[in-house]
Amino acid sequence: MALIVQKYGGTSVGSIEKIRGVAKRVLEYHKQGNKMVVVLSAMAGQTDNLIRLAQEMTDEPDPRELDVLLATGEQVSVALFAMAVKSMGYEARSLLGFQVAIHTNRLFGKARIHDIETERITKELEKERIVTVAGFQGLDGKGDITTLGRGGSDTTAVALAAALNADVCEIFTDVNGIYTTDPNICPRAKKMDRISYNEMLEMASLRAKVLEIRSVEFAKKFNVPIHVRSTFTQERGTMVVAETEDMEKVLVSGVAFDKNEARITIKKVPDRPGIAAKIFHPLFKSGIIVDMIVQNTSEDGETDLTFTVPTSEFQKTLSLVNKVGKEIGAQKVLGDKNIAKISIIGVGMRSHAGVAQKMFDTLAQENINIMMISTSEIKVSCVIDQKYTELAVRVLHTAFGLDNDLGEKS
């Protein structure tokens, strides 16, 4: 007998029949004596419909009220799922974020989980009930409903698994695992049996659609094994686990890309202490995540500063930076949304030289210009013109041997 937390995404519960199918699948585990906690997203398309309603009402929906509205999507899913289980002759209990309770900070739309109470879930499990929890939502210190942002149901599931000390957290989605790259772009992409937390963190940071980054952070911190698999098959998926020695035998595990980034350049910035802090402070206050930052060599007391932000935050960032630019006496602010970030990822590159050079050479052979570069211990990223994204992914996938089953060995 095991304690299993499962999460089903919007496509998995996109209709009444699909919810019944999920209920049957969960009951197979339950009948084997396992204790089941099931986290559900809103039905496919429902969150977008709710956002549309809010925008029809007002151009700038109040963040608190928007969270109240958006949280209803998951409420529908868990209630219908509990009804489905009960119609099959078994006991289930649906719980919303505030009923659990999942405590968060007060950043509406992007709330972060502080802690989770487990007493109510434990009591329900002791009564041999299947517990279904609304993903994506919690409550703040004032008792208001909050939401965790896109992909927040993954975070709910892994955080619950950590709090409950579950044996495994299974993330069910519409893909059958994690691939070396997007198979829609590179048909030779291969499904991985295992990937380390650190590699998955890097992939999630590039907005890989499989797992939300905060869910991986929770998993790594509390050593929660995650099994990413398909709702629609019985096939084993990909395990996200702690790093093992054999993982370092492969130099590069995957090629990831992100088209949802924009580049901001501030020209002729005064090069003196405190200027960078003044530029980025309003972005921090607005919750805008800055990714890559490059500052040119100072000339005559001035420099250029370039950084990237999510495309969704582009206009807001431009507005804020233009204001700061005038205050600090910068010459002008430029913006570019037609970029993409291409990254190679692998724990094997940690102890081997020449990986970045091979990436640069491969892109150069295709006449793909590199605008920005950033590195971490297990990742090298390049910003390129967005129109070359698919080509860059395919040639890098081939260059590092990922077209083969095992990848290029060290």
| Residue 225 domain flag | no
Q: Is 276 helix (H, G, I), strand (E, B) or coil?
A: helix
| CATH code of the domain in which 161 resides | 3.40.1160.10
Q: Tell how strand 332-336 and strand 372-376 pair up.
A: unpaired
| Residue 314 domain flag | yes
| Tokens found for residue 278 | 């003044």
pLDDT digits 0-9 by tens, 236-266: 999 999 987 777 777 899 999 999 999 999 9
Same-domain check for residues 391 and 264:
yes
Name the domain count of the chain. 2
Same-domain check for residues 61 and 146:
yes
| Residue 376 domain flag | yes
- Of 119, 152, 174, the residue that ends a domain is 174
| Residue 143 domain flag | yes
- Of 120, 146, 174, the residue that ends a domain is 174
- Sequence-distant (6+) residues with CB within 8 A of 265 are 304, 305, 306, 333, 334, 335, 336
Q: Tell how strand 379-385 and strand 372-376 pair up.
A: antiparallel
Same-domain check for residues 141 and 250:
no
Same-domain check for residues 143 and 276:
no
| Residue 234 domain flag | no
Residue 316's φ and ψ, nearest 5 degrees, are -65, -40
Same-domain check for residues 168 and 252:
no
Q: Are 191 and 178 in contact (CB under 8 A)?
A: yes
| Residue 204 domain flag | no
| Residue 236 domain flag | no
Same-domain check for residues 161 and 309:
no
Q: What pLDDT is attached to residue 407?
A: 47
- Sequence-distant (6+) residues with CB within 8 A of 17 are none
CA dist., res. 94 & res. 119, Å (int): 15
CA dist., res. 240 & res. 220, Å (int): 9
CA dist., res. 5 & res. 157, Å (int): 7
Same-domain check for residues 147 and 63:
yes
Q: Nearest 5 degrees, angle CA 348-CA 291-CA 213?
A: 65
- Of 152, 174, 196, the residue that ends a domain is 174
Residue indicated by tokens 């911190």:
221
Greatest alpha-carbon span in the chain: 78
Q: What pLDDT is attached to residue 410?
A: 43
pLDDT digits 0-9 by tens, 327-360: 999 999 999 999 999 999 999 887 777 899 999 9
Same-domain check for residues 164 and 259:
no
Helices (H), 314-354: 314-328
Same-domain check for residues 152 and 13:
yes
| Residue 274 domain flag | yes
Q: Where are the beta strands (DSSP E) in 76-196?
A: 92-95, 102-104, 113-116, 130-134, 137-139, 145-147, 168-173, 194-196
Which residue numbers in the chain have pLDDT < 50? 406-407, 409-410
Domain membership of residue 358 as a residue range:
244-410
Residue 209's φ and ψ, nearest 5 degrees, are -75, -5
What CA–CA distances, in Å, run from 26 to 2, 96, 97, 180, 288? 13, 19, 21, 29, 38
Same-domain check for residues 139 and 268:
no
Question: Which CB contacts under 8 angstroms, 24+ apart, belong to 44-47?
Answer: 44/10, 44/11, 44/13, 44/14, 45/10, 45/14, 46/10, 46/73, 46/76, 47/10, 47/73
CA dist., res. 384 & res. 316, Å (int): 23
Count of positions (residues) in the chain: 410
| CATH code of the domain in which 360 resides | 3.30.2130.10
Q: What pLDDT is attached to residue 404?
A: 64
